[in-house]
Chains A and B, each alone.
Chain A
Amino acid sequence: MIQMQTIENTEQEIVEEFAEFEDLFDKFGYLIDLGKNLKTLDESLKTDNCMIKGCQAHVWLYSELKDGKIIFQADANADYAKGLVAMMIRVLSGHTPDEIINAPLNFIEKIGFKSMLSMKRAGGLESMIKQMKLDAMVYKAKSSNTFLTQ
């Protein structure tokens, strides 16, 4: 069985990939490539329920729990937003709710994308991370059976 990478390992991998580019233009270009390479989310899963509405770009984030691990899939209407969500999927998908909830995710700052966290209106990273962590909390609550019995 292949051992799943830790969140930190994947973060480090991404930091190193971006470190190869000195210029911000090339970093953004690479981010756009990551977006283009993201496996497209099935149209039937792109519902309003899983839509993260930004002022400019919209992201569809779909999650499901398989064998105690969350699998994320996503799509977006701008390659830049798709790149951001692709990066987050690479880091978080396939991990347990607890691992996702507790992930500090400080790789974003290391890449030099800290400003993207606050790009709320542009459909930035912050809302994606919030939604992914929220999904993890819901799965955790469901599996510990404290959520649905209310």
Chain B
Amino acid sequence: MTLTKNIEEVVLFDVHEIRKDFPILSREVNDKPLIYFDNGATTQKPRQVIDAIVKYYTMQNANIHRGVHRMSQDATDEYENARITVQKHIGAKHENEIIFTRGTTDSINLVATAFGKKYVNVGDEIIVSEMEHHSNILPWQQLCEEKNAVLKVIPITDSGELRMDEYKKLLSEKTKLIAITHVSNTLGTVNPVKEMIAIAHSKSIPVLVDGAQSIPHLKVDVQDLDADFYCFSGHKVYAPTGVGILYGKEEWLKKLPNYQVGGGTIKTVSFNKSEYAESPLRFEAGTPNIEGAIGLAVALDYINALGLKNIAAYEDELLEYATEKLSALDNLQIIGTAKEKASVISFVVEGIHPLDIGILLDAQGVAIRTGHHCTQPIMAHYQIQGTIRASFSFYNTKEEIDIFANAIVKSIKRINQK
């Protein structure tokens, strides 16, 4: 495995100091100190984010965009500033390219519905990959069913990398959109999305990138990638649940028809004809998750203060250490051995159901995830029922990985005990 970032770039990264910012990390689970390795599912929140939410409801709560009173104006400013923070964080050209949604799934559904309504017709094709999360399959599958269009799938290799040769073959004049994950939530694979987008654009095909697993680990620049749409969730990047982002190129957002409509999306309403607002408000029907947006901005500020290069380098170090430790264990097989990986490690143990290991790890205070991780096609590829998945964050430590490895050994021993 090659490291995605250079370790030498790490400066002053004191994990023990960082851990103090995350109150939940000092709790016990099942009378054992918590080891939280389920960051791919959701990340824990730093004190700064928790404080921002408390402050919002203690001092700032008001509905946004329409109020003339001071608190409403302040809340509107905070919400719109959060949009600018997100814009800067992902390198978007304009702030109106940033739409607040409920999360990645919501963002993908928005595009599938609005884009599909206008641009997808009978016999057209949408391309996804075999390693997509169900949330980046189902909206497209449903669209294809509705429109009698065809869902095409880029296969993966046994190491968990996209078959780029097959990808190129799948592109045709029937292809209307490519929806691809940046980082696989199950395999950890970092896909070459920049290259894939360039190939798609050479045939004038737009690309949506599912960034749910990449935003917490990598520096993402949507303009550098030239992504048409980029989606991610707040809660996977140290922010509250229920808030997410859809980035869309301005030219696309102008062309997309409405998704959900209602309060906030309009200029004027009459029974004869209503006039809609411009993006992003046109896509943000109803009162949004204001405190979520504010929390997301604080979370992004937090990781930027740590430095994304530092985070990536440290997490690579954790991944490499865990891969080494786990590879040394008998009867354990790592699923997903791509050259470029984020800090996700999936594995199976011969003859043992992942769930059995999962509950015994939980009893030892180790929170991991077992099952298909909402990626059943990956399970079908490897012909397995599920995996055990550990996903690391910058607040995890090598000491925790040592305990984890020992806990796996203890669990296997107990299960095999006669």
Contact = CB atoms under 8 A, between A and B. Distances in A.
A80 interface: yes
Interface string B166-193: 0000000000000000000000000000
Interface string B356-388: 100110011000001110000000000001100
- In this complex, which of B356, B360, B386 has the most chain A Cβ atoms within 10 angstroms of its Cβ? B356
B353 A24 contact: no
Contact of B355 (A23, A24, A25, A122): A122
A77 B385 CA distance: 9
B417 interface: yes
Interface string B9-33: 0000000000000000000001100
B415 interface: yes
A9 B1 CA distance: 57
Contact of A25 (B354, B360, B371): B360
Contacts of B385: 56, 77
Interface in A19-52: 23-25, 27-29, 32-33
A137 interface: no
Interface in A56-91: 56-57, 77-81
A138 interface: no
Q: What range describes how many residues of A lie at the interface? A: 10 to 19
Given A25-B414, A29-B414, A77-B353, A56 B360 contact: no
Given A24-B30, A56-B370, A79 B356 contact: yes
Contacts of A29: 360, 414-415, 417
A80 B370 CA distance: 13
Interface residue SS majority, chain A = helix
Nearest to B407: A25
Given A24-B363, A25-B363, A56-B386, A32 B355 contact: no
B354 A56 contact: yes
A23 B364 CA distance: 9
Given A77-B353, A80-B355, A32 B414 contact: yes
A119 to B, nearest CB: 9
B360 A81 contact: no
Contact of A81 (B355, B371, B417): B355
A57 B370 CA distance: 11
A77 B364 CA distance: 23
Nearest to B360: A28
A134 interface: no
Contacts of B353: 56-57, 77-80
Contacts of A103: none
A18 B298 CA distance: 47
A122 B354 CA distance: 11
A25 B364 CA distance: 7
Nearest to B370: A56
B341 to A, nearest CB: 24
Contacts of B370: 56
B387 to A, nearest CB: 11
A56 B364 CA distance: 21
A57 B364 contact: no
A141 interface: no
Contacts of A79: 353, 356, 415
B359 A56 contact: no
Chain A CB within 10 Å, residue with most, of B354, B371, B372: B371
Contacts of A55: 371-372
Given A24-B31, A32-B360, 18 more contacts: A23-B31, A23-B363, A28-B363, A29-B360, A29-B414, A29-B415, A29-B417, A32-B356, A33-B417, A56-B353, A56-B354, A56-B370, A56-B385, A57-B353, A77-B385, A79-B353, A80-B355, A80-B359
A-B pairs, top 8 by smallest CB distance, nearest first, are: A78-B353, A25-B363, A24-B363, A56-B371, A78-B355, A29-B414, A24-B30, A56-B355
